[in-house]
Amino acid sequence: MLPPLGMYREIAAAHPGLRPGLREATRHGINVMRHMFSPVRMARRVRWLGGRAPVDLSGIRVPTLVLTGDPELDRVVPVRATREYLTLIPHARLERLERTGHLGLITRPEVFCRVVGPFAADAVRADARRRVV
């Protein structure tokens, strides 16, 4: 079971070579089939959000990491739309995961951890310093 072609490009970019790309795409396709999403629930959430007023994010004071992948590989959310969080959340920091798109946590878990791990550790240390003062 292979994922849609748009997702295959992202998976293949993260796992260069025909055999590794096909192996990872097949593994991802099986995982998708095992854990099916619900279009009904997704539509319900979209309708619920549609009736809400825009949320003011300028009051966020905690460390915020905005992650994107490569613009040409993200077929789910345009990277330019994700980058808008940088204008909405003060002090938000942007990191880009190379050779992946929307599925960076799945396709490049080691890179994801190298980015998110230190960010989280810094946030914990900063919080501990604030509590001591």
Closest by CA to 91, choosing from 119, 125, 124, is: 119
**pLDDT class of 10 with cuts at 50, 70, 90:** confident
Q: What is the pLDDT of residues 35-93, one digit of tens each?
A: 877 888 878 877 887 777 678 899 998 999 999 999 999 988 899 999 999 999 989 99
List the one residue out of 79, 108, 102 whose CA is nearest residue 4.
Answer: 102
Strands (E), the chain: 65-68, 93-96
Segments of 25-125 assigned E as strands: 65-68, 93-96
